[in-house]
Structure 1
Amino acid sequence: MSKLLHHRDGNVLTLTINRPEARNAIDPELLCLMADAFEAASRDTELRAVIVTGAGDKAFCAGADLGRLLPLLARQRPPEDDFDHRVAEDPEVFNRALLRGFDIGVPVIAAVNGHAIAGGMELCQGTDLRVASENARFGVQEVKWGIFPAGGSTVRLPAQLSMARAMELLLTGDPIDAKTAFDWGFVNRVVPPAQVMPVARDLAQRIARNGPLAVRAVRHAARSLLGTPEEEALAQELRYAAPVLASEDAREGPLSFLEKRPPVFRGR
């Protein structure tokens, strides 16, 4: 069975990291499969949302496979197969797999069904919405093993949390539980384990019903303008808004409201 499972339900795609026996740790093969899946999603014009989760109920993703992937990335072992060679020769495989500087264009929801540690936590940081199980834990533990968290944590966490809380995670390496992650604003929902996927699917479907051009543009604006000085950001916001407001969808939405019917968005 594949180490990455794909399930398409209409215009919502669910990707399941499928190495429960290894706490869904990312080895070179899985890294390539994840990179390819996100690349394909970025080209799918019918896609409206993506859910990422892990198989089993113990871990969302425990990060890099310490025996296979990490030594390869650190040049401590030579490539042994085609997946190893891809990872060793193309740094963009790593970036795409962890959504590090790679944007697929549609909202990504993390359905965190267990521990999200190291690279698993960094994958969460690349998502837009996060639903966590009550037993989930989040940690950037690289410093405990003398490793640098190069999947984006030193950039994303200070932007997504307060600086003090980000530095606590980064410098101690200690994990936080789901309630703390919610209190700190890192996750949107904390639910019983059996509700993680239903709640994530509900969020995805609610997003998918909205105007796709508007969703993409709003998401892009919010992510890209973060940290931009207000005057400059407001000017740039209008450039995101203009094509959406001139679209067929922007005419259909108000018309459907006046006609008391659901809108039929066509993405144009």
Structure 2
Amino acid sequence: MQAEYMPSEEVTLHEVEDGVVQITMQDRASKNGFSPALMGGLLQAFKRIAANPAWRAVVLTGYDSYFASGGTQRVLMTLQEGTASFDSVNVYSLALDCEIPVISAMQGHGIGGGFVMGLYADFVLLSRESIYTANFMKYGFTPGMGATYILVQKLGVSLAHEMMLSAETYRGDALEKRGVPYAVLPRAQVLPRAIELARTVAAKPRKSLVALKNHLAAPLRQALPEIIRQEVAMHEATFRDADVRQRIETLFGQ
């Protein structure tokens, strides 16, 4: 199938095979950080998926050694300055809101909000070689994007709290040893396995897939707005601190 290029070249959309569509994030300039181009491309991609009743499963992946890197330095600075809020453009829960099942083929690094975004999918595949981190507190501000809820739901209380409070990085093979409930594979096997899973899902009737996903996703969808409200309130209390600005300026990318 030919790739259907989005208005943003940083995000492409193409039908892999009957019923299976793949979104590829490839903003090399930002290492798949949440640049305007990447966010706009993701919003447009999921909008097109919603409009196509022939598709029954989605694979979301990145390029080379990057899945998604979360907020760019410029985005974090606008949040610190109070000129924007992470909930003003919702890309983080697109996989949760999608009617059909989504598989996060996290073949590369998942950093901060990028890692959180991947966890909203119905299936998650990790790479042994890649690093995954909820590193919000590295910069001195509290987690956003529903991280305080979705990490607990997907990883368990102990590991989720450790990741958020310590802001440490974890290789996929280390998370595998910690017992994460996801397949952790060599990087080269992540996308092929995701497509295999998508093929299995897409063999089912779309109407039934939508009904079951709506049922399974309902508790997360219902809880999320209040979690986001609480996280925004924490940001208002913590993000404006001068120490946070200094950390963003000096530690970003390290």
TM range (shorter): 0.7 to 0.9
1:69 maps to 2:75:
yes
1:197 maps to 2:204:
no
Per-residue deviation, 1:146: 1.2
Aligned-partner residue type, residue 132 of structure 2: F
Per-residue deviation, 1:91: 4.3
Within the candidate set 35, 39, 44, 2:43 is matched to 35
Between 1 and 2, higher relative CO (CA 8 Å, sep ≥ 6) is seen in 2
Structure 1 length as normaliser, TM-score?
Answer: 0.71
Per-residue deviation, 1:147: 2.2
Unpaired runs of 5+ residues, structure 2, are 1-7, 223-254
Corresponding pairs, count: 214
CA distance in 2, matches of 1:51, 1:185: 24
Aligned-partner residue type, residue 176 of structure 1: Y
1:241 matched to which residue of 2?
none
Residue pair 1:60, 1:115 contacting (<8 A) in 2 also: yes
Identical columns (%): 26
1:265 matched to which residue of 2?
none
Deviations 1:157-187 (A, max 9, x none): 1222221211101100112221343455545
Deviations 1:73-109 (A, max 9, x none): 44467xxxxxxxxxx599453x1x1116961111111
1:129 matched to which residue of 2?
123
- Aligned with 1:60: secondary structure? strand
Per-residue deviation, 1:22: 3.0
CA distance in 2, matches of 1:70, 1:34: 19
Structure 2 length as normaliser, TM-score?
Answer: 0.75
Pairing of 1:100-111 with structure 2 (within 5 A): 103-111=97-105
Residue pair 1:129, 1:187 contacting (<8 A) in 2 also: no
Per-residue deviation, 1:149: 2.0
Judged with a 3 Å threshold, the aligned counterparts in structure 2 of structure 1 residues 103 and 92 are, in CA distance, closer, same or farther, namely: farther
CA distance in 2, matches of 1:141, 1:89: 18
Root mean square deviation of aligned Cα: 2.6
Aligned-partner residue type, residue 70 of structure 1: L
Pairing of 1:86-97 with structure 2 (within 5 A): 91=87, 93=89, 95=90, 97=91
CA distance in 1, matches of 2:15, 2:30: 25
CA distance in 1, matches of 2:180, 2:29: 27
Residue pair 2:95, 2:102 contacting (<8 A) in 1 also: no
Deviations 1:38-94 (A, max 9, x none): 2332333222111111112x211111111x3222344467xxxxxxxxxx599453x
1:208 maps to 2:205:
no
Within the candidate set 152, 172, 177, 1:178 is matched to 172
Unpaired runs of 5+ residues, structure 1, are 78-87, 229-268
Bigger Rg over Cα: 1
